[in-house]
Structures are given as C-alpha cells and as structure tokens.
Structure 1
Amino acid sequence: MSEIKVFIVDDDPLVLSSLQTYFKKAPHITVVGEANDGHEALNVISKGGIDVVLTDIHMPKMDGVELLERIQKVAEPPKFVAITSFDTDETMIKILSLGGNGYILKTARPESIISTIEDVMQGGTVISPVSATRLIKTLPTQGIGSYHVTNAEEEVLKLICKGMSNHDIAKELGKSPGTVKKHLSSLFNKFGASSRLDLALKAIDAGFKTKD
C-alpha cells in the first residue's frame, strides 16, 4: 500500500501522543504534523501534501466543523475524518453532510482507527458502529425486495450498515479482505451506490433488515 500522509488535530496532548503511537504500528501511514486547534491546522493543511486530516471536533479558536468547511475550499482538499469523545447525531450528520469521509470515536481500537484511514483513502466513508447503529434504529426494517442480494453479501451489508470497516468485517465473518471487497463491489453495483455510506442509506431506505 502507498504511503498515507496523516495530519492530526486535537487540543489534548495525550490524544495526540496516543494517535502517534497507534500509527507507528502501520508503516504505510506517516504522521506529517499535528496541531492543537483548527486555525493552526488550516495554515498547514492549505499548503498541501496531506492525504488525511484526523481531527477532534470540539476545540478552541476553530472547531472541527468549521475546519472541514474551510478545508473544502482549498485547491485539493485532503480526506477528512472526525474523531470525537462527544458522539451526537447532530454533529455526525453535520460532518457527513459537509463532505466528511469518516466519523469515529476516540474509544475505537487502534486497528479500527488505522483501517478507517485506509478505507477513506480507497474512497470509502466510515462511521463508528455505535453511531451508525443508533442512526438506523428509526428506519424501516422490512427486507430488500428485488436487489437479489446473496446470503454472503447480506452478511457484509449488515456490517456495513453498522459502520464497520473492511478489516473488521473480514475478522467478524472469518473471510479474507479480498472476499469482503468482492462482495462490497457487487453490492455497490446492485444498489448503484457511490460510497459505503451511500450503500448503507440506500439499503436501509429500501427496507433492509439490519437486525437478526
């Protein structure tokens, strides 16, 4: 896998240190810088050379939401992943509606944070399982009608709707990452989806049953 250049933004030194430690386990991910608030981060990000911005949401001077709005205006905006301790539907929807590529929690396992960075670089959208599950509880659960989804694809789709990454899905189902990717590609075609989030929303809108 090609090198992924990540820039971290958080006003908590302990979080910055922890994330730096996590990414040292992934030789293909390089932390190219860090900042304590959105204003400081924007000055660096606007110069380019960054693939993914991993940022807290609640920070002084400029929060993560405003940072995302500003980043979207630069010539070649990097991928944007919000990582937070304060999980609310309003914030999650705001981040995703503004074009954010990921919304995860600081309590996520290091492997999940790493796989989130990998997935968004491949064009995916990642939502924390807790947030995604809460979001879909209020939506229909009757079935998916005429999409002709196989049993294996349905297993993958159920976990996609819970916000899980390819790495975690493969581990959960005991399948290879390549097999999961193959099923995901087939699901994208069947639903005409442009991203993981789009796939989940289209499946749920069609009445996909996300609970056993």
Structure 2
Amino acid sequence: MNSPQDETGSRHPEPQRPGQSISVGLVEDQQLVRQGIASLLEISEHIRVCWQAENGQQALSLLAQTPVDVLLSDIRMPRLDGIGMLQRLRADGNPVPVLMLTTFDDNELFLGSIDAGANGFLLKDVSLDKLCHAITQVAAGGCLIEPEVLQQLQEHRLQDGKAHNPLSERETDILRLIAGGLANKEIAAQVFLAEGTVKNHVSNILAKLDCRDRTQAVLLALAQGLI
C-alpha cells in the first residue's frame, strides 16, 4: 500500500479506502504475547496478519518472501532485536512502516528506535481499537507515539535538562504542521508562504535535526519536547 509523495519523496497520510486490507508482519519473541496480538487482530475487518516471526532475523527473511504494509515489532528480542532489524531495513532502502511495541522501561532504546527509523510506538497492553488505529495511521504514512509513552519520555528529558531547540520559531511552527499530517502545499497556505519556501524550511529542519525524513523529525521533536 503506497502513500502519495511530495517533491522530497516524503510520504503523507491518506484515508484508508473502504474494503482495503492492511497486511501486517508481527515480530515478537514471546509466543503468548505474539499469539494474543494475532488473535486480537483477527477480529479486525481490515487488518490481516500475514506472518509471525520470533526475532528480527526471521522477520527479514519472511519479509523478503512476503512483503507487508506494516511491521508490528517488539524492541527487545534475541538474535536480532527490533532496532537492528530497522537499521538493516533502512540501510537496504526499505521504507516499510514499523510500529514498535514496548513496555517502555528504557528511554535509550526508545530514542535508538527513532534514530533507526521507527514510525510509531505502542505499549504492549494497548486496546484493540488503539492498535488498529495505530496500524492504519502508520500504513497511511503517519507517525504515532502513545501519550503515556510520550509523557514518560518527556518527564525523563526534564530530569536531564530541557533539550536545546536548534529550530527557528518559523521552523518549529512548520514542524508542528508536519506533525498534523499536512503536505507542503497545505502548510504554505497555513503560514502564507510560497510552497518552495516551505520546502526549503523542511529541508533545513531535517538537516538541523539530523533526520532522514519527516516522520523521523516529528518523532524526535515530540520525544525531545521541541513541539
């Protein structure tokens, strides 16, 4: 399932078309948790689990045989964890959205997942409604961090001291609009700038935050409390 792209190749969310099924690869080393999530998703009418893997290495092999729209993956796993799997995917130029499952007791793992190219984060005790919404959102090119996860990370950041914001006020405003799912043309209309000027601002934002794409920039900014 592909989403529209702007001039920079960034993907933007698009509405899920009626009757369109989202294929998911489930990566989780704990069998009981994995089977529980798969059983939950079987209830959904528009999401189907195509395959299950117990580590990142197995997931990469299955993905090569059967591509999916979204990977739903644990962070901690034996052999190859979620971050290692993500790094290999992005190094190979594979943009498949990855939604990470976490108990969130390690802030560095969370930030490492953002750096590796994750598209969203959910707690493992998430409800079916939230899980389906998150899968649909990242499949459409969006990003997501559960409020509980975001709050805990930002509290940790406050204890360590407020993160320096390298962005200008205008760039920060534009990044907030990007977080809202707006494309360059829509942002230009909101801030009364030419679309080309907005595109330049987006390029500057990615450079200053050292991010490969808009999704990573939004997640990093949310995690660090910049927006």
Class of the TM-score when normalised by the shorter of the 2 chains: 0.5 to 0.7
> Structure 1, residues 59-118: CA drift from partner, whole Å, max 9, x if none?
111111111111223454421111022432111111111111011110111211111101
Equivalents in 2 of 1:51, 1:88: separation in Å?
A: 28
Q: Tell me, yes or no, if structure 1 residue 33 matches structure 2 residue 51.
A: yes
What secondary structure sits across from 2:65 in the alignment? coil
- The one-letter code sitting in structure 2 at the alignment partner of 1:78 is V
Report the TM-score, using the length of structure 1 for normalisation: 0.67
- The one-letter code sitting in structure 2 at the alignment partner of 1:205 is L
Q: Where does structure 2 lack aligned partners over 5 or more consecutive residues?
A: 1-16, 164-168, 192-197, 203-213
Deviating 4+ runs (over 6 angstroms): none
Equivalents in 2 of 1:67, 1:200: separation in Å?
A: 19
RMSD: 3.3
Q: Tell me, yes or no, if structure 1 residue 69 matches structure 2 residue 87.
A: yes
Match in the other structure for 1:201:
221
Contact 1:53 1:79 in 2 (8 A): yes
**For residues 52-131 of structure 1, what are the structure 2 equivalents within 5 Å?**
52-74=70-92, 76-131=94-149
Residue-pair matches, total: 171
What secondary structure sits across from 2:126 in the alignment? coil
Measured at CA, do residues 200 and 11 of structure 1 come closer, stay the same or move farther in structure 2, by a change above 3 Å? closer
Q: Which one scores higher on RCO, CA 8 angstroms, separation ≥ 6? A: 2
Match in the other structure for 1:11:
29
Contact 1:85 1:106 in 2 (8 A): yes
- The one-letter code sitting in structure 2 at the alignment partner of 1:8 is L
Contact 2:97 2:141 in 1 (8 A): no
Q: Where does structure 1 lack aligned partners over 5 or more consecutive residues?
A: 150-156, 162-182, 207-212
Paired-residue identity, %? 25
Equivalents in 2 of 1:96, 1:196: separation in Å?
A: 6
What secondary structure sits across from 1:131 in the alignment? helix
Equivalents in 2 of 1:199, 1:116: separation in Å?
A: 14
What secondary structure sits across from 1:33 in the alignment? strand
